[in-house]
Amino acid sequence: MDTTLQDPLVGQVLDGRYRVDARIAVGGMATVYRAVDTRLDRVLALKVMHPGLAADVSFVERFIREAKSVARLAHPNVVQVFDQGADGSYVYLAMEYIAGCTLRDVLRERGALQPRAALDILEPVLAALGAAHRAGFVHRDMKPENVLIGDDGRVKVADFGLVRAVDTVTNTTGAVMGTVSYLAPEQIETGTTDPRVDVYACGIVLYEMLTGDQPHYGDSPALVLYKHLHEDVPPPSALVPGLAFELDELVALATARNADIRPYDAVALLAQVLETRGSLDAEQLDAVPPQAVASGHDNAEDLTSVIPRAVSVQRALNVQRPLPVNEDEPPVDERRFNRTSRLESVATAPPASAPPSRRAPRSPKRRAPLAILVALLLVLGVGAGVWYINSGQFTQVPAVLAQTQAQAEDRLADAGLDLGKVDKAYSDTVERGTVISTDPDVGARIRNNDSVDLIVSLGPETVPVPRLAGYRLDRARAQLKRAGLEPGRVTREFSEDVPLGSVISTDPDPGTERRAGSAVALVVSKGSPVEVADVTGATLADAQAELEEAGLKVEVATGTVASDEFEAGQVAVQSPEGGTEAAEGDTVTLTISKGPEMIEVPDVVGDSVADAKEALEAAGFQVDEDRGLLGLFGDTVKKQSVKGGKTAAKGSTITITIR
């Protein structure tokens, strides 16, 4: 079932102006709807804050700040904000509507992009951010979800809800807003939010476009943050062999952990991108990735949320010992770190899931004498024999996660352990041929010479796209989910052969193997086209009968319009216009005429001809002169066809008699 039908706002009119037609997307802070501005008769996007947050002053201020910030950015690659207001518990922004998809949708469906396509998307994004940076703003939340790609190919940057002034620094004892996978190191350490944090995020986005995957993954937000602080972004060519080294250099420059090395703002990075493009030949720009890596993101999970930010991400973790994975749970889905989040300092201890760090060997100068050690053991009530029985016969399962099976066997052997049973399992997050989990878990206490079972990844599971032509939309969506796929973007087309509401085709085609969880786009029939009759000039009853007979619905607009062409009660305006095509069941909106506008006629009797004509024409009338034989040489108005003070239709003719 289409959950849009359950949304209480759909079908309502906000602020007496914005008619909500359909829900587009849901976020953690707001829901976005497709709506119609009934005053200007244009389609727009309505971003409505969740009513439960409207009482939070900080959220409302962020909403208003977004409207004011974008209003100052008159740029073709920025989604424009037209209006901001409130209706009861609903606080909203009226925004430009972009028919199309997000960059995340593209990456989810296609995986890695050709370098030319990646740069074609990145350049307008940097142009938009450059305008923001030069206007004194930092976006702070750049990610594929906030890059919109219109059906006409236009690229626009959206969601300036976290925008801040360039010189703003957030106290790290407070909270840092952003998306974990795209945060710059200085945002994590000091809360600094100058234009270079957007440059860093764009570097991550470029890496993701070139490889289809993110550079940093981890089992917790803290581990991802740690990697931003302590690990360089790997070159894209390491994941997609054959990419030009100039692209590796561009990613490395934009994602340098030292902010001073990065371009100082998006304008500077754009110049570098253009220079890089100019250095590549057509073959390098059009290089096809040998194996597209579909990121498989689900927009439903990219929600604004609050997650703790442990201060310990600045401390060294044992990166040689990945976090344990419980084999009874599904593999960790790093997609949850693509949410816009508030990172709050809540503890100084390492993350609960972080592995124990190995102790550094003590310096000989600090090594306690054996006698002191024995004395200490005795004081603690621990004898040497007890230590050997309880510890000397045991070891820990070494870190073998994400290692190949051969590497895992070597590490187990070095630890004095045997390889036990080896099972295989599909995984969307662990590379094919590498270890997903162990039994016992990594780091677990185990007797020497015991065996360790491994589960090795088969890589992502692929499934064929089912044949859905002729299925009703709700059933087609259910079939996709049953097959392990996700319903993607729905477009509608006229069809003489396929009934209204049924699937015409899918993209990709039926039988195509896709990664489990990937989205499949659907083309749904609007039925046979119906020609909309021109009913202007007809009475409302006649117009309604004619349109409904053709299979269309009729809606009468609130209020009437003045019309010199149509009498009161006749149809003056219709939308869509007569002669256009619509689908059966579509709605035609009719606006009724209230007749011509009536205005007061000036009294010009006794005036000169010139003054009389000037007064009447200024009031909105046309003037005709009646001189007769006696008025051939006269210049004074003796009579007018409509007496002064009476009303007449605007634009009608007033005859003046001259004597």
Q: Enter the tokens of residue 324.
A: 């344990």
For residue 582, give the 3-state DSSP assignment: strand
Is the bond into 466 cis (omega within 30 degrees of 0)? no
Q: Is 141 a catalytic residue?
A: yes
Domains of the chain in start order, with CATH, are 1-97 (3.30.200.20), 387-457 (3.30.10.20), 462-525 (3.30.10.20), 529-593 (3.30.10.20), 598-658 (3.30.10.20)
CB 63 within 8 A of CB 95: no
Note the Cα 27 to chain centre separation in Å. Answer: 9
Beta strands 451-457 and 418-425 are parallel
Neighbours of 468 (CB within 10 A): 23
d(CA 342, CA 162) in angstroms, rounded, equals 11
User: pLDDT digit string (tens) for 13-48?
Assistant: 999 999 999 998 877 677 899 999 999 889 999 999
Q: Write out residues in the chain with pLDDT < 70, as ranges.
A: 1-5, 28, 66, 161-178, 290-393, 629-631
Q: Tell me, what's the pLDDT at 293? A: 42
Q: Which of 442, 384, 387, 390 has the alpha carbon at shortest distance from 412?
A: 442
Q: Which of 427, 431, 433 has the alpha carbon at shortest distance from 456?
A: 433
Q: Tell me, what's the pLDDT at 393? A: 58
* Distances 524 to 4, 332, 482, 553 between C-alpha atoms, Å: 17, 35, 19, 20
Cα dihedral 424/429/431/436 (nearest 10): -40
d(CA 571, CA 591) in angstroms, rounded, equals 6
For residue 600, give the 3-state DSSP assignment: strand
Q: Which of 279, 233, 281 has the alpha carbon at shortest distance from 253?
A: 233
Among 141, 159, 194, 248, which one carries the catalytic annotation?
Answer: 141
Q: What are phi and psi of 106, to 5 degrees?
A: -65, -45
Q: Tell me, what's the pLDDT at 162? A: 53
Q: Tell me, what's the pLDDT at 117? A: 94
Beta strands 340-345 and 435-439 are unpaired
Q: Tell me, what's the pLDDT at 425? A: 87
Amino acid (1-letter code) at residue 531: E
CB 441 within 8 A of CB 397: yes
